Structure 1
Amino acid sequence: MKLKHLSPLLLSFPIVCIAGGGHLVDERSKIAFDYDTVSSEVAQNELVECQQLATSTQSNVQDTTKGSGARGAAKGAAKGATVMAIAGESGSDGAKVGAAVGVVKGRRDSKKATQQAMANNEQQYATVLRNCMVDKKYVALN
């Protein structure tokens, strides 16, 4: 009978329950994290914090293709002229062919270097993000 008198009293006190558990996915690196001790709001805030830290480690990747054709042409022309001179022929034809090949090679090498620098940046971002989240007790799923 005394329980009837306690019921209204119990209902007047709010019950605090922290819902924990879930997963997050970083859209840039596609790394998924699992958590079970914090709310989704806290987890999202900590992910944003780690994303900002990871982004701050990025180096500027500049497009190095500008002028790469001219540099390649100069190198190719010098090589072509040298080869032709060794063969005992006029160096100007060899220089022209070498310059044409050098333009293509210079641009290709420059583009490859830019792509490699961008890939290195993305790998570094993923590593820093993963380490930051693991340090905060999240489990990286991939």
Structure 2
Amino acid sequence: MNGPYLALVLGLGSRAWTDRTVIDTALTEVWHDARQNGYSGIEVMEGTAPGADRLCGEWAKARFEHGVGHLPVEADWEGPCADTCPPGHRRARRDNTEYCPLAGHRRNQNMVDRQPLSALAFQVGESTGTADCLRRLAAAGIPTRRWAA
């Protein structure tokens, strides 16, 4: 596959999203549209979280031979905080390790900064991570289709 000829599409959503059929249908439609518009396929970027993100990644990996790339973008939960993080905001897990609760927001901005051609959002309830990414996509003017469960 030739990366520059793939349309970058962001698949995102709630950890509670379980409807694989909706994701399969949405990504298949986007792949088909991209092919009709002269791309050799799509590259599905996703944030590696359980639920919608992971289902989008699984769809992409299963279709590699059909012109589909996969770009997982992980949040660095255990890594150092950004200069903009407030002092003392790190949280402890049950195993006594600490993490930065803003790492998901930084990952979301990283994905938006890659300027995907479009985004597909699969949201259950008031998922805060999904809502954060949707705000960032809107601010960047990236076309986004939404499904709710």
TM-score by length of 1: 0.28
Give the number of the structure whose residues are more often helix, by fraction: 1
- Asked which structure has the greater CA Rg, the reply is 1
Give the number of the structure whose residues are more often strand, by fraction: 2
TM-score by length of 2: 0.27
